[in-house]
Amino acid sequence: MNIHVKKEIKRALLAGTAMLMLTTPAFASTQHTVTGNKAVSHTAKVVIRQYRAKSNKKRIYTLKSAGHSKYTLKAKYYVHSFTKFTLERTAKVSGKTYYEVKSPAGYTGWIWSGYLGNPTTYYSKLSAKTLRIKSNATNDFYNHVPGGDYGNGKLTHYGKNYRGKTVTVTGEAKKVYKIHYFRVSYNGKSFGWIYGGALQKIPAVTKKIVNGMPVYTQSAVALKAFSTSKYSYVNNPNYFLNAPSSYGEAPGYSKLFNTVANTIKRKKGTGKTDFTTDLYLPGTVKKSGDLANAQSVVIDGDTAYVMNESKSKTNDQGFVVKYNLPKLRKLASDSKDLSVLRRAANRKMKGETLTDDEKAALTCMTIGPTFTTGHGQTMALNPKTHQIWFIGKSGTSTETSNIQELNKSTLRSDKEIDFKMGQNQTTPSTLTFDSNGNFYAYVKNAAAWAPTNSLKLYKGVINSNNTVQISLVMQGLKYAPGTHSQSMGFNAVNQRLYFVSDGSILSVPVAKLGKLSVKDVRSEQFQTFDIDNKKINTREFEGLTFDQTGTGYLLTIRGVELMRATSSNF
């Protein structure tokens, strides 16, 4: 160190001015856990560049006080005698940085930063999950932070070859001059470290208007990463019911206009309910599926919403029908005809004369426009916000799925969120919400890491920035209810989640998800009967919903029927 620099340091210390600042740097914090590149917490290697390595002129100095205002500098060690040190304080003199360092043996001294590799901090908490390489990036990838604790590092990839690509962040570091580096992977392969200035943040969501409706597309995959080795399942009783080759029909279905209720009865299981007719809803008139292909149901207050899949349009088209339940029930009771609405809709579509009761019944029904609904079996009410949502498209891990909000007045969607599921999982085709606004979806498992025909459950949230986050519930059920995952439901009164398949329903308490026991699982199979009270194949269970009192309602078809549970114990 030359005489001029010694005088500069002495002058700064004597004057007590801001020219010399003694501080504890962030990278020396005893609270910080250092990770990445096997660096040791609170220590860093001295990296001496080759042209300096053997020079006897590169020294570490001590500052000694000979009084209140007198300091002396004395050369004490050669640079290359320190192979590891702890950073104590920093001093800036005329824009240059010096470090007070301490060896493991307790030796201390001051050294110019130019004699060292830049001390590097490795963060355990990452500031970003994914980043995008800038379109004009010229920085390359290295196996270590370039010029950091481990020297210049070795080139692994040329950055220019990956401009515009999205990379996954696996590590983050900062050199002494607050220069950030990120360790990243691309398409599952580790690429190494790259200068942070070559990267840019990816917007969490982008917005565009499609046919007058806002469509939000999130950049990150929806499903959080999980470890299959940590997945477990409850060995619940086996009430799995195979779907029949052909579904059963309602008693007297061919006659269309039933005037009295029919019942789907409990067959076996820990559940104790039957389902009996609440209302017969409109069915087929001129062609298959025109009003008879109901797929899901929501009850919100006095109103029922039924989503229908349309067979007369291109694939994934459907419409929603809204029903005034109290008025319909009164008409059915007064006329002693549970089919009053079905009869009215049938005659109206045929151009026949209507009775006063039938005219009144039609005022209780509003048919919405046809739009892209997907299969339509996922419509669900969020009891926290009173919004109705449905999954418009269920894609594989890398395909785009979407979830849409239904406008209760226009009966068509007025918002869409596009996302990719990720983690090699397909977006489920079931949906329900709990009292806190969390949503749930289940599938019958087909993955090798869980039992065949087991139930796999996902939990998610729709964020205020119009993105979706989903997690796998790390405990499933060994036996799903049946072949087809038809529907889900949530009862806000007893706080249970329901999993619906054809002729079979399971339920669990939402508060115990992830720590369920066998006794927490309720299971029930049901039996369908024909007009002569003979057992037939199960009817198709399309939807399950609950009103504000906790009463359950089952939507079935052949023909379309809203059925009321006789007990809440299921």
Question: Of the candidates 71, 90, 117, which is a domain's last residue?
Answer: 117
Predicted confidence at residue 41, as pLDDT, reads: 29
The token duo for 9 is 């340091």
Predicted confidence at residue 62, as pLDDT, reads: 58
- pLDDT tens track, the chain, 570 positions: 455 544 544 444 333 322 223 222 222 222 223 233 232 223 334 433 332 333 345 555 555 444 444 334 455 555 545 555 666 777 665 566 777 777 777 777 777 666 665 567 888 889 888 899 999 999 999 998 887 766 678 999 999 999 999 999 999 998 866 789 999 999 889 999 999 999 999 888 999 999 999 999 998 899 999 999 999 999 999 999 999 999 999 998 877 788 889 999 999 999 999 999 999 999 877 665 578 899 999 999 999 999 999 876 567 899 999 999 999 999 999 999 999 999 999 999 889 999 999 999 999 999 999 999 999 999 999 999 999 999 999 999 999 999 999 999 999 999 999 999 999 999 999 999 999 999 999 999 989 999 999 999 999 999 999 999 999 999 999 999 999 999 999 999 999 999 999 999 999 999 999 999 999 999 999 999 998 999 999 999 999 999 999 999 999 999 999 999 999 999
Q: Do 512 and 378 sit in the same domain of this protein?
A: yes
Q: Do 81 and 192 sit in the same domain of this protein?
A: no
Q: How many CA atoms does the CB half-sphere of 78 hold within 13 Å?
A: 9
d(CA 144, CA 153): 5
Q: Do 71 and 28 sit in the same domain of this protein?
A: yes
96 in a structural domain = yes
Predicted confidence at residue 114, as pLDDT, reads: 64
Predicted confidence at residue 119, as pLDDT, reads: 63
The token duo for 493 is 């009164």
d(CA 280, CA 345): 11
Instruction: Say which amino acid occupies 178.
Output: K
**Whole-number Cα distances in Å, 101 to 7, 52, 393:** 21, 19, 60
8 Å CB contact between 225 and 475? no
Other beta carbons less than 10 A from residue 301's beta carbon? 11
Find the CATH number of the domain harbouring 151: 2.30.30.170
Predicted confidence at residue 189, as pLDDT, reads: 93
8 Å CB contact between 401 and 391? yes
Question: Of the candidates 76, 92, 117, which is a domain's last residue?
Answer: 117
* Strand pairing report for 213-218 and 413-420: parallel
343 in a structural domain = yes
Q: Do 89 and 146 sit in the same domain of this protein?
A: no
d(CA 344, CA 126): 62
d(CA 294, CA 507): 23
Task: Kindly report, residue by residue over 268-303, the tens digit of the pLDDT.
Answer: 999 999 999 999 999 877 665 578 899 999 999 999
Q: Do 163 and 222 sit in the same domain of this protein?
A: no
The token duo for 52 is 């300096």
Other beta carbons less than 10 A from residue 513's beta carbon? 18
Query: Which stretches within 351-470 are classed as H helix?
Result: 356-362
8 Å CB contact between 101 and 86? yes
303 in a structural domain = yes
DSSP-derived secondary structure letter, 348: H
Q: How many CA atoms does the CB half-sphere of 504 hold within 13 Å?
A: 19
Q: Which residue has the tokens 């038809």?
A: 486
Predicted confidence at residue 170, as pLDDT, reads: 95
Q: Do 257 and 157 sit in the same domain of this protein?
A: no
**Whole-number Cα distances in Å, 431 to 107, 358, 388, 463:** 65, 34, 11, 16
The token duo for 293 is 């292909």
Q: Do 294 and 326 sit in the same domain of this protein?
A: yes
Helix (H) or strand (E) holding 406: strand 400-406
Find the CATH number of the domain harbouring 324: 2.120.10
Boundaries of domain holding 16? 3-117
570 in a structural domain = no
8 Å CB contact between 294 and 555? yes
Q: Which residues pair with 294 in a beta bridge?
A: 308
Question: Of the candidates 146, 178, 201, which is a domain's last residue?
Answer: 201
Q: Do 34 and 160 sit in the same domain of this protein?
A: no
Q: Do 236 and 150 sit in the same domain of this protein?
A: no
86 in a structural domain = yes
208 in a structural domain = no
CA-closest candidate to residue 131, choices 171, 184, 180, 191: 184
Q: Do 149 and 277 sit in the same domain of this protein?
A: no
Q: Do 195 and 228 sit in the same domain of this protein?
A: no
Task: Kindly report, residue by residue over 321-337, the tens digit of the pLDDT.
Answer: 999 999 999 999 999 99
Considering its fold, how many domains does the chain have in total? 3
Q: Do 410 and 320 sit in the same domain of this protein?
A: yes
The token duo for 300 is 């919100």
DSSP-derived secondary structure letter, 563: E
71 in a structural domain = yes
d(CA 143, CA 146): 8
- Is residue 190 helix, strand or coil? strand
Predicted confidence at residue 177, as pLDDT, reads: 64
459 in a structural domain = yes
